[in-house]
Amino acid sequence: MKTIFVIALLIVAVGLISSIGYLLFKDKTIPVELSDQAQEIDKVVKLIDFSEINSEFPFSAKIPKEFEAEYISELKAINIYNPALRGSNNIEKSQLYISFFKASRFLTLSTVDITKQDNMIIKGHEAILYEITKKDGVPNFAGQPGWRNFKHQALDIRLTKDSPSYFYSFAYVPDLGEKTFNSIIDSLVFMNQDN
Protein backbone atom coordinates (compact mmCIF):
# COMPACT_ATOMS: atom_id res chain seq x y z
CA MET A 1 0.00 0.00 0.00
CA LYS A 2 2.86 2.34 0.88
CA THR A 3 4.45 1.64 -2.55
CA ILE A 4 1.23 2.53 -4.39
CA PHE A 5 0.99 5.76 -2.40
CA VAL A 6 4.61 6.70 -3.33
CA ILE A 7 4.03 5.92 -7.03
CA ALA A 8 0.81 7.98 -7.05
CA LEU A 9 2.64 10.85 -5.36
CA LEU A 10 5.43 10.70 -7.97
CA ILE A 11 2.90 10.74 -10.83
CA VAL A 12 1.17 13.79 -9.35
CA ALA A 13 4.53 15.54 -8.81
CA VAL A 14 5.69 14.88 -12.40
CA GLY A 15 2.34 16.10 -13.76
CA LEU A 16 2.54 19.26 -11.64
CA ILE A 17 6.10 20.02 -12.73
CA SER A 18 5.17 19.43 -16.39
CA SER A 19 2.18 21.78 -16.09
CA ILE A 20 4.28 24.52 -14.49
CA GLY A 21 6.94 24.10 -17.20
CA TYR A 22 4.31 24.35 -19.92
CA LEU A 23 2.81 27.52 -18.43
CA LEU A 24 6.21 29.16 -18.03
CA PHE A 25 7.52 28.41 -21.51
CA LYS A 26 4.46 28.12 -23.79
CA ASP A 27 4.80 31.63 -25.27
CA LYS A 28 8.53 31.41 -25.78
CA THR A 29 9.81 30.49 -29.19
CA ILE A 30 13.09 28.84 -29.76
CA PRO A 31 14.87 30.50 -32.66
CA VAL A 32 15.91 28.11 -35.38
CA GLU A 33 19.10 29.06 -37.10
CA LEU A 34 19.40 28.38 -40.80
CA SER A 35 22.33 26.26 -41.81
CA ASP A 36 25.24 28.06 -43.41
CA GLN A 37 24.31 26.47 -46.73
CA ALA A 38 20.69 27.71 -46.50
CA GLN A 39 21.91 31.21 -45.59
CA GLU A 40 24.28 31.20 -48.56
CA ILE A 41 21.48 30.12 -50.91
CA ASP A 42 19.23 32.94 -49.65
CA LYS A 43 22.01 35.42 -50.47
CA VAL A 44 22.18 34.33 -54.11
CA VAL A 45 18.56 33.50 -55.05
CA LYS A 46 15.11 35.01 -54.71
CA LEU A 47 11.66 33.46 -54.97
CA ILE A 48 9.50 34.64 -57.87
CA ASP A 49 5.78 33.86 -57.97
CA PHE A 50 5.16 33.92 -61.72
CA SER A 51 1.38 33.88 -61.21
CA GLU A 52 1.74 37.42 -59.80
CA ILE A 53 3.42 38.48 -63.05
CA ASN A 54 0.71 36.79 -65.13
CA SER A 55 -1.94 34.35 -63.93
CA GLU A 56 -1.34 32.00 -66.89
CA PHE A 57 1.93 30.94 -65.23
CA PRO A 58 0.74 29.07 -62.08
CA PHE A 59 4.10 28.33 -60.48
CA SER A 60 6.97 29.86 -58.57
CA ALA A 61 10.72 29.27 -58.64
CA LYS A 62 13.95 30.54 -57.17
CA ILE A 63 16.09 32.50 -59.61
CA PRO A 64 19.48 34.18 -59.15
CA LYS A 65 19.03 37.28 -57.00
CA GLU A 66 20.42 39.64 -59.64
CA PHE A 67 17.89 38.50 -62.28
CA GLU A 68 14.53 40.16 -62.97
CA ALA A 69 11.37 38.81 -64.60
CA GLU A 70 8.93 40.53 -66.95
CA TYR A 71 5.83 39.54 -68.89
CA ILE A 72 5.93 40.09 -72.66
CA SER A 73 2.26 40.47 -73.54
CA GLU A 74 2.63 40.30 -77.34
CA LEU A 75 4.33 36.89 -77.01
CA LYS A 76 2.48 35.66 -73.91
CA ALA A 77 5.85 34.81 -72.40
CA ILE A 78 7.99 35.60 -69.37
CA ASN A 79 11.52 36.83 -69.90
CA ILE A 80 13.99 36.35 -67.07
CA TYR A 81 16.92 38.65 -67.67
CA ASN A 82 20.09 39.94 -66.07
CA PRO A 83 19.91 43.76 -65.91
CA ALA A 84 23.70 43.95 -65.45
CA LEU A 85 24.35 42.61 -68.95
CA ARG A 86 24.89 44.90 -71.92
CA GLY A 87 22.02 45.30 -74.33
CA SER A 88 19.60 47.93 -75.56
CA ASN A 89 16.58 46.12 -74.06
CA ASN A 90 15.72 43.33 -71.64
CA ILE A 91 15.21 40.75 -74.40
CA GLU A 92 18.88 41.15 -75.31
CA LYS A 93 19.73 40.45 -71.64
CA SER A 94 17.54 37.33 -71.53
CA GLN A 95 18.73 34.28 -69.59
CA LEU A 96 15.55 32.21 -69.45
CA TYR A 97 12.47 32.43 -71.66
CA ILE A 98 9.21 30.83 -70.48
CA SER A 99 6.32 30.34 -72.88
CA PHE A 100 3.28 28.06 -72.97
CA PHE A 101 0.88 26.32 -75.28
CA LYS A 102 -2.26 24.26 -74.86
CA ALA A 103 -2.37 20.85 -76.52
CA SER A 104 -3.17 17.18 -76.03
CA ARG A 105 0.45 16.11 -76.44
CA PHE A 106 3.97 17.48 -76.55
CA LEU A 107 4.53 19.58 -79.68
CA THR A 108 7.62 20.96 -81.38
CA LEU A 109 7.92 23.74 -83.90
CA SER A 110 8.41 22.76 -87.54
CA THR A 111 10.93 25.61 -87.74
CA VAL A 112 13.53 23.86 -85.55
CA ASP A 113 15.71 20.77 -85.75
CA ILE A 114 15.72 18.57 -82.65
CA THR A 115 19.21 17.21 -81.97
CA LYS A 116 18.44 15.71 -78.57
CA GLN A 117 15.27 14.67 -76.76
CA ASP A 118 15.13 13.25 -73.21
CA ASN A 119 11.86 12.24 -71.53
CA MET A 120 11.75 12.86 -67.77
CA ILE A 121 9.55 13.65 -64.79
CA ILE A 122 9.81 17.09 -63.16
CA LYS A 123 8.03 17.48 -59.81
CA GLY A 124 5.58 14.72 -60.78
CA HIS A 125 4.91 16.21 -64.23
CA GLU A 126 5.77 14.67 -67.60
CA ALA A 127 8.55 16.63 -69.29
CA ILE A 128 10.85 16.53 -72.29
CA LEU A 129 14.23 18.23 -72.50
CA TYR A 130 15.04 19.22 -76.08
CA GLU A 131 18.20 20.48 -77.69
CA ILE A 132 17.00 22.54 -80.62
CA THR A 133 18.40 24.66 -83.43
CA LYS A 134 16.44 26.94 -85.72
CA LYS A 135 16.44 25.54 -89.26
CA ASP A 136 18.50 27.29 -91.93
CA GLY A 137 16.42 29.64 -94.05
CA VAL A 138 13.83 30.21 -91.34
CA PRO A 139 13.48 33.89 -90.32
CA ASN A 140 14.62 34.81 -86.82
CA PHE A 141 11.98 34.43 -84.12
CA ALA A 142 10.39 37.89 -83.89
CA GLY A 143 10.55 39.60 -80.51
CA GLN A 144 12.35 36.68 -78.85
CA PRO A 145 15.87 36.60 -77.41
CA GLY A 146 18.54 36.34 -80.11
CA TRP A 147 19.98 33.15 -78.60
CA ARG A 148 16.67 31.39 -79.43
CA ASN A 149 17.80 31.48 -83.09
CA PHE A 150 20.81 29.24 -82.32
CA LYS A 151 21.39 25.89 -80.62
CA HIS A 152 19.98 25.86 -77.09
CA GLN A 153 18.00 23.68 -74.72
CA ALA A 154 14.33 23.92 -73.81
CA LEU A 155 12.42 21.93 -71.22
CA ASP A 156 8.70 21.40 -71.88
CA ILE A 157 6.63 20.47 -68.81
CA ARG A 158 3.06 19.18 -69.05
CA LEU A 159 0.95 20.80 -66.31
CA THR A 160 -1.76 18.11 -65.99
CA LYS A 161 -2.76 14.75 -67.43
CA ASP A 162 -5.93 16.41 -68.79
CA SER A 163 -6.37 16.60 -72.53
CA PRO A 164 -5.82 19.26 -73.59
CA SER A 165 -3.34 20.54 -71.00
CA TYR A 166 -1.09 23.53 -70.61
CA PHE A 167 2.57 22.89 -71.48
CA TYR A 168 5.25 25.27 -70.23
CA SER A 169 8.50 25.63 -72.14
CA PHE A 170 11.59 26.80 -70.25
CA ALA A 171 14.33 27.71 -72.74
CA TYR A 172 17.68 29.01 -71.53
CA VAL A 173 20.69 30.75 -72.98
CA PRO A 174 23.67 28.36 -73.11
CA ASP A 175 25.79 30.87 -71.12
CA LEU A 176 23.47 30.41 -68.13
CA GLY A 177 24.83 26.93 -67.59
CA GLU A 178 23.12 23.65 -66.92
CA LYS A 179 23.74 23.79 -63.14
CA THR A 180 21.97 27.14 -62.74
CA PHE A 181 19.12 26.06 -65.01
CA ASN A 182 18.67 22.81 -63.07
CA SER A 183 18.62 24.74 -59.77
CA ILE A 184 15.79 26.91 -61.09
CA ILE A 185 13.85 23.88 -62.33
CA ASP A 186 14.46 21.99 -59.06
CA SER A 187 12.94 24.93 -57.14
CA LEU A 188 9.69 24.96 -59.18
CA VAL A 189 6.48 24.82 -57.16
CA PHE A 190 3.25 24.41 -59.11
CA MET A 191 0.21 26.13 -57.54
CA ASN A 192 -2.63 24.07 -56.03
CA GLN A 193 -0.46 20.96 -56.03
CA ASP A 194 1.41 19.18 -53.27
CA ASN A 195 4.73 18.96 -55.10
Rg (C-alpha) for the chain, rounded Å, is 26
Domains of the chain: 36-190 (3.40.1000)
* Range with lowest mean pLDDT among 7-11, 35-39, 142-146, 164-168: 35-39
DSSP tag of 90: G
Question: Which of 109, 92, 93, 89 minimizes the C-alpha distance to 101?
Answer: 109
Q: pLDDT class for 42, splitting at 50, 70, 90?
A: low
Residue 132 predicted with pLDDT over 80:
yes
Q: How far is CA 44 from CA 38, 52, 58, 93, 105, in A?
A: 10, 21, 23, 19, 36
Residue 145 predicted with pLDDT over 70:
yes
Model pTM?
Answer: 0.76
